[in-house]
């Protein structure tokens, strides 16, 4: 559950090129998964009784407590929780280990945007063999769709990031700005705010692939169409156009703070009123509380601004799943851990740790929804966030090489944010580069 | 050094003589200012680091970067750096020391022995060895990291301390430095007379050559220590388990934590940790400065 920082890591670029190629080369084949891994709930229970050791690669902080409680419940199982890097660093390490055939963990955390890459190359296990398909309805539609690839289910959703508008009420009140209901209102608010205080901005953006794709998602754009190894990349559709024309106004008017998300300057800006709003995933409250102490009591949460007035559409931003690498050694035991962490006791443990669930039961429970957040002036923010989870626009998919595609976002679309090109030109360049890379990797890309 | 001043046009038949002024203790304002600027430029990041290591996470974001915040939290920060995450920082510090002592120490030893051997003994294929060493100096270690990773993973050494120590043992530049240094610092005549007196080669090396090589060894050692202490890319590729991380990777992991949802932003500990990380290097340089300077200059001037 994290938004990867956009800083590209050298290794990633260097390694993923060759590794993906080999991974995809061996991908063509049936989507039924290996028959040998077929297992039943009985096998999972047997594995728990027999015990063993599991290595889990994850960076999500609340998993530490989940692991502790899992080991208490099943004393014969020893879980090694390893932080093998955050986001892209970990994917690179995972690809390396899979390629090298040694040191592959039994369980790994993979963000939704990165999952198709591992699923298509069959480097993670299809969980339908363990009966994961029977969990239909357990999770909200956004994350549940995200773990599907073809007919397979390649991970269990750990958390989700339905988007909402976080805004600094103190700044809004000071300049008499209303909470924007539509993106047009948002642009108007941006102008009003920046005119009133040239040091204040409605938002920060120096180019963030995850954010841009989420907004296109909300606008109904479907730039990525994936069917097995047939891929279409098209940023010319109506949804993408809506995003591009609106966001271009903010860029051209210099209404966005030139601050990169997740940097120290960003945390500072969120605290001192430089950045007045944040449209981001529902997992953000925990970060506000630990990272933006200065903003306590000032921030509130509202529904995401809409592309059409009266609309309710939202999108997912960030969020991650737990997967079982195909090369892992004790898969039945690994599945037992997945189920504990993502479906059973673990959900509550993580919720108490500040995480945002992907499970419908928790999202609908009064205890969750009515919780008051002192940080947000005692607002019941989960009301807004839970509603957002139910309004995610269906039908979105990421590329089977989205990790790479996101890594070149700043080389292409990023130029638009510095004024060297328009957003439309930047998106076209991103499309071309993504098509080219996909073809090099052996996909049929249009 | 040629001083050219535009000669005022004068009707004279005397040729204009441009005299090179001797290099004496002449004060140049320009150079002094430039040096001062350079000094500030170099020390500014260090000052920033020291100042900001005294701030809390909130103070860090809420105060001017180059001056102190109201609250002096340095000792609290140091304490938390060593206790945060079950004291993992201490583990990283010990890992780094292990890599430096075994890796850089071994690298220096190997470079010294090999450099001495190459400088003082003739054997067939020496030119080829020379070419390979020079070639190896030109290859950046970063370029070798990925092939090394694949090789190490074949033999199952990734994610172990050996994955850092073994590559650190190789220092082509150190070898080359010891080679040229040994060639100049140890006169052949001394070796000859030792041999005539009946000393064996190892005796000669340890009793006679090693003391003569001391400044060179310190120089190579410092190079190797700095390279290993700051090593980032190789561990990044080789290690997955934070229990084997050196400080460089560990600090990066702490820094990255702020960019994960639910992760606690601990920039104050990252900064304090960085300060603690550079102190041993500064101490090493100050203590070994004398040797280091003489070693660096050696070989550049032929007497």
DSSP sequence for A271-309: HHTSB-EEEEETTHHHHHHHH-GGGTTTEEEEPPPBSST
Q: How much is the pLDDT for A9? A: 38
Q: Are residues A137 and A174 in the same domain?
A: no
**Which of B51, B72, B93 finishes a domain?**
B72
Specify whether B245 is located in the same domain as B204. yes
Domain-embedded: residue A5: no
Q: Same structural domain for residues A137 and A234? A: no
Residues B207 and B117 in one domain: yes
Q: CB distance from A281 to chain B under 8 Å?
A: yes
**Domain count of chain B?**
2
The reply to whether B218 and B265 lie within a common domain is: yes
* Domain carrying residue A340: 10-160+319-364
Residue A88 has pLDDT above 90, yes or no: no
Q: Which residues of A touch B267 (CB under 8 A)?
A: 264, 267
**pLDDT tops 80 at residue A396:** yes
Q: How far apart are CA A288 and CA A299, in angstroms?
A: 9
Which residues does chain A have within 8 Å of residue B57's beta carbon, measured at their own beta carbons?
293
pLDDT digits (tens, 9 = 90+) for B178-192: 999 999 888 888 888
pLDDT over 60 at A29, yes or no: no
Report yes or no: A359 and A150 within 8 Å, Cβ to Cβ.
Answer: no
pLDDT at res. A303: 97
In a domain, A209, yes or no: yes
Mean residue pLDDT across chain B: 85
pLDDT over 80 at B80, yes or no: yes
**Cβ-based burial of B139 (10 A; exposed 0-12, middle 13-18, buried ≥19):** exposed
Model confidence band, residue A271 (pLDDT cutoffs 50, 70, 90)? very high
Same domain? For B147 and B205 the reply is yes
Verify that A29 and A137 share a domain, yes or no. Answer: yes
Q: Are residues B49 and B197 in the same domain?
A: no
Give the pTM.
0.79
A289 and A270 in a common domain: yes
Which residue in A has a C-alpha nearest to residue B253's C-alpha? Answer: A85
What would the pLDDT profile of A189-243 be if each residue is shown by its tens digit? 999 999 999 999 999 999 999 999 999 999 999 999 998 889 999 999 999 999 9
Residues A180, A153, single domain; the answer is: no
Same domain assignment for residues B53 and B135: no
Q: For residue A91, what pLDDT is reported?
A: 92
Which pLDDT score is estimated for B301? 47
Q: Are residues B181 and B266 in the same domain?
A: yes
Confidence of residue B22 (pLDDT cuts 50, 70, 90): low
Of A61, A267, A283, the CB nearest to B61: A267
Q: State the complex-level ipTM.
A: 0.70
For residue A35, what pLDDT band results from cuts at 50, 70 and 90? very low
| Minimal Cβ distance to B262: which of A10, A84, A283 | A283
Sign of the dihedral defined by the CA atoms of residues B82, B86, B90, B92, in that order: negative
pLDDT at B246: 96
- Which CATH number do you get for residue A129? 3.40.190.10
| A–B CB contacts, 8 A cutoff, strictly below | 115
| Residue A5 pLDDT greater than 50, yes or no | no
Q: Which residue of A has its CA nearest to B261?
A: A2
Looking at the DSSP assignment, which residues form a beta bridge with residue A149?
Answer: A152
Picking from A15, A85, A294, the nearest residue to B58 by CB comes out as A294
Position A39 in a domain: yes
B55, B180: one domain: no
Q: Which of A14, A159, A286 sits opposite B146 (nearest CB)?
A: A14
Q: What single DSSP character describes residue A375?
A: G
Collect all residues with Cβ–Cβ distance below 8 Å to A314 and sequence separation of at least 6. A162, A163, A164, A218, A303, A304, A388, A389, A391, A392, A393
pLDDT at B59 over 90: no
Q: What is the mean pLDDT of chain A?
A: 88
* CB B111 within 8 Å of CB B104: no
Nearest to A260 by CA among A404, A418, A114, A111: A418
CA distance A329 to B234: 27
B147 part of contact set with chain A, CB < 8 Å: no
**A62 with A196, same domain?**
no
Same domain for B53 and B110, yes or no, is no
Confidence (pLDDT) at A407: 93
Is B59 a member of any domain?
Answer: yes
Query: Do A285 and A373 form a contact (C-beta atoms < 8 A)?
Result: yes
Kindly determine whether residue A14 and residue B259, on different chains, have CB atoms separated by under 8 Å.
no
Name which residue leads in pLDDT, B4 or A152: A152
The rounded distance, in Å, linking the Cα atoms of B126 and B122 is 7
- The pLDDT, as a whole number, for residue B19 is 54
- Residue B122 domain-assigned (yes or no): yes
pLDDT band at residue A21 using 50, 70 and 90 as cut-offs:
very low
Q: Which residue range(s) make up the domain with B281?
A: 85-297
Give me the residues of B, 80-139, that contact A with CB < 8 A: none
Which pLDDT value is given to residue A102? 80
Q: Does one domain contain both B93 and B68?
A: no
**A2 in a structural domain:** no
User: Across the interface, do B259 and A3 touch by the CB < 8 Å criterion?
Assistant: yes
């Amino acid at each position: 559950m994290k938004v990867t920082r956009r800083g590209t890591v050298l290794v990633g670029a260097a390694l993923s090129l060759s590794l993906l190629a080999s991974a995809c080369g061996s991908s063509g084949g049936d989507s039924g998964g290996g028959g040998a891994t077929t297992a039943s709930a009985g096998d999972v229970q047997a594995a728990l009784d027999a015990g063993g050791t599991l290595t889990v690669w994850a960076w999500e902080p609340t998993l530490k407590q989940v692991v502790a409680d899992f080991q208490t419940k099943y004393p014969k199982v020893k879980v090694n929780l390893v932080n093998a890097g955050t986001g892209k660093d970990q994917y690179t390490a995972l690809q390396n280990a899979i390629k090298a055939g040694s040191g592959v963990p039994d369980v790994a955390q993979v963000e939704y945007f990165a999952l198709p890459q591992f699923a298509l190359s069959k480097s993670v296990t299809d969980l339908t063999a363990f009966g994961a398909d029977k969990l239909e309805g357990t999770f909200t539609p956004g994350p549940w769709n995200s773990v599907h690839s073809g007919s397979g289910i390649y991970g269990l959703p750990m958390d989700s990031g339905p988007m909402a508008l976080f805004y600094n009420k103190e700044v809004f009140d000071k300049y008499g700005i209303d909470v924007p209901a539509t993106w047009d209102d948002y642009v108007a608010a941006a102008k009003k705010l920046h005119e009133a205080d040239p040091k204040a901005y409605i938002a920060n953006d120096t180019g963030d692939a995850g954010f841009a794709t989420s907004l296109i998602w909300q606008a109904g754009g479907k730039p990525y169409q994936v069917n097995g190894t047939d891929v279409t990349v098209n940023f010319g559709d109506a949804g993408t156009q809506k995003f591009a024309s609106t966001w271009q106004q903010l860029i051209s008017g210099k209404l966005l703070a030139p601050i990169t998300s997740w940097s120290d300057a960003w945390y500072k800006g969120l605290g001192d009123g430089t950045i007045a709003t944040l449209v981001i995933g529902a997992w953000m409250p925990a970060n506000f509380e630990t990272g933006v102490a200065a903003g306590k009591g000032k921030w509130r949460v509202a529904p995401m601004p809409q592309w059409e007035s009266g609309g309710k559409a939202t999108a997912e931003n960030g969020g991650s799943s737990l997967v079982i690498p195909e090369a892992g050694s004790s898969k039945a035991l690994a599945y037992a851990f997945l189920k504990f962490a993502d479906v059973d006791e673990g959900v509550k443990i993580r919720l108490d740790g500040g995480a945002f669930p992907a499970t419908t039961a928790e999202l609908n429970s009064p205890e969750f929804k009515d919780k008051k957040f002192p940080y947000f002036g005692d607002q019941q923010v989960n009301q807004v966030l839970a509603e957002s989870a139910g309004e995610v626009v269906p039908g979105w998919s990421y590329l089977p090489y989205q990790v790479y595609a996101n890594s070149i976002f700043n080389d292409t679309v990023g130029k638009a944010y510095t004024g060297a090109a328009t957003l439309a030109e930047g998106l076209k360049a991103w499309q071309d580069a993504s098509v080219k890379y996909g073809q090099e990797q052996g996909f049929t890309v249009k | 050094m040629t001083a050219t001043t535009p000669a005022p046009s004068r009707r004279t038949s005397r040729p204009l003589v441009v005299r090179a002024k001797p290099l004496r203790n002449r004060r140049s304002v320009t150079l002094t200012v430039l040096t001062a600027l350079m000094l500030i430029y170099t020390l500014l990041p260090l000052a920033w680091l020291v100042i900001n290591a005294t701030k809390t996470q909130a103070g860090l974001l809420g105060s001017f970067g180059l001056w102190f915040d109201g609250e002096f939290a340095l000792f609290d920060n140091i304490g938390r750096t060593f206790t945060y995450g079950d004291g993992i920082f201490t583990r990283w510090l010990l890992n780094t020391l292990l890599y430096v002592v075994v890796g850089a120490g071994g690298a220096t030893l190997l470079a010294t022995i090999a450099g001495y051997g190459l400088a003082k003994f003739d054997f067939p294929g020496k030119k080829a060895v020379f070419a390979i060493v020079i070639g190896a100096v030109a290859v950046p270690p970063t370029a070798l990291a990925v092939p090394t990773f694949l090789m190490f993973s074949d033999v199952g050494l990734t994610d172990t301390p050996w994955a850092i120590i073994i590559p650190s043992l190789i220092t082509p530049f150190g070898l080359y430095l010891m080679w040229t240094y040994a060639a100049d610092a140890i006169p052949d005549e001394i070796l000859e007379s030792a041999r005539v007196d009946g000393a064996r080669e190892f005796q000669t090396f340890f009793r006679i050559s090693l003391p003569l090589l001391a400044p060179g060894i310190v120089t190579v050692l410092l190079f190797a220590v700095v390279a290993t202490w700051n090593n980032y890319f190789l561990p990044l590729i080789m290690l997955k388990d934070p229990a084997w991380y050196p400080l460089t990777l560990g600090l990066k992991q702490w820094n990255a934590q702020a960019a994960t949802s639910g992760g606690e932003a601990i920039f104050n500990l990252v900064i304090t940790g960085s300060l603690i990380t550079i102190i041993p290097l500064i101490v090493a340089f100050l203590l070994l400065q004398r040797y280091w300077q003489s070693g660096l200059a050696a070989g550049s001037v032929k007497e």
